[in-house]
Amino acid sequence: MHTDVVAGSLGSRPVAREYFGTDGVRGVVGDFVTVDLVERLGKASALWSGGGRVFVGRDTRGSGEELEEAFARGVVSAGGVAVLAGVVPTPAVALLRLDLGVVISASHNPPEYNGVKFFDRTGRKLTDAAEAEIEALLDAPAPGGGEINRVGIAADSYLQHVRERFGSDLTGLRIAVDCANGAYAGLAPGAFEELGAEVQAIGNHPNGSNINVGCGATDLAALQELVVSGGFDLGVAFDGDGDRMLAVDELGQTLDGDQIVAILALHLGVDVVAVTTMTNLGFHKLMEERGIRVVTTDVGDRHVLEALYREHGILGGEQSGHVICLSDHVTGDGLASALLLCAAVRGGTLSEAAAVMERYPQVKLNLPRTGRGALPQTLLDRLEEVNAELNGGGRVLVRPSGTEPVVRVLAEAETEAEAEALCARIAALVRQELG
């Protein structure tokens, strides 16, 4: 296959960190994520950035305001300036960042979770090494002397940028939009309407405890029902902080990030795409047929971004719905991706556009696990043997989650039954090895 494996920490050891996971610091509030930890992160990150200006946004979680204030206190203690924007989508923070961009969010996780995501002065996510350097400053002395500023136009500036760079004439298009009761509530529906679409929104009334609950990119059932019953052309669903987007076609069938990236790759005419180890074999098959080079990275949109910058590509993404287009942007953006998808299907249907990619059956399982360390080498060796046996007719992947205390198992095969049997076999092997 026309695939390069070049990115992330594939085949190398990641830098050891105590608090940072796959995407910033994240956990249950009051347990792993505390006010004290977030304040120390504010201080440490401001010290790390030279005591400069830190642009801070948050999603709609009930814990967000208290943690935002705690982070700001930490920045002030380090002599920095905390610029608080309130509730804004994560991609807005990446675009509007100052010396640092910070989001108080746990992305797609349930309401009881929260966390802290970081962007550097160029809008890129921090490297493992930079995160380790920030952790080393958690207990450093703070000089004080900083200040807090508040801004109220961040969301408007962001929406204008995305509409101008990624929008097109959507007149006549009927779209159902699920805002996940998150950061896009009250924002995304208006963006589609201003471009001419007829919009009906759900998940558009956040109350602090309903973010990602029965709605959004983590639960498409309500959107599927709305699209079919309302006769919409398509539906799009965001996650709580707006960096993920999944879709539903006019028949009510769901599209994952692999299918969306495939549609956009053909629409944009790219010659290289970056995806992760989770990406469906059917995606690789389509890209090979179309002569598009695929770069495969570790799981995490940060690794996809690193690969795109290194390979001078503009398009990549994850099956989970992180879709990245670096044309006039610096990170994955749910609204920008949704607008590009709408442009790609004008004159046809989303089901027709999705049909170009055969999706191999995948069966996934999350197994509880204590600790965050690497998987045993004996398990990795056994998995390598299984993949060698499959010889391209399927595959297995096992990885520890960077955001939850689980091990994720993926099995892929030509039929659903084969994939299910393979997943059960590998799950038994993982339980045996991990005890």
Q: Which sequence positions are flagged as catalytic?
A: 107
CA distances from 193 to 176, 234, 237, 241, 339 (A): 11, 14, 16, 21, 12
Contacts from 25-31 at CB under 8 Å and sequence distance 24+? 25/115, 25/116, 26/106, 26/107, 26/109, 26/113, 26/114, 26/115, 26/116, 26/403, 27/106, 27/113, 27/114, 27/115, 28/112, 28/113, 29/61, 29/63, 29/67, 29/112, 29/113, 29/114
Q: Helices 128-135 and 35-48, interaxial angle, to 10°?
A: 110
Distance CA 264, CA 290 (A): 13
Going by C-alpha positions, the residue among 222, 296, 234, 265 that lies closest to residue 2 is: 296
Distance CA 218, CA 212 (A): 7
CA atoms within 13 A on the CB side of 287: 29
Distance CA 99, CA 221 (A): 40
> Which residues have a Cβ under 8 Å from the Cβ of 42 and sit 6 or more positions away?
54, 70, 71, 72, 73, 74, 75, 77, 78, 82, 102
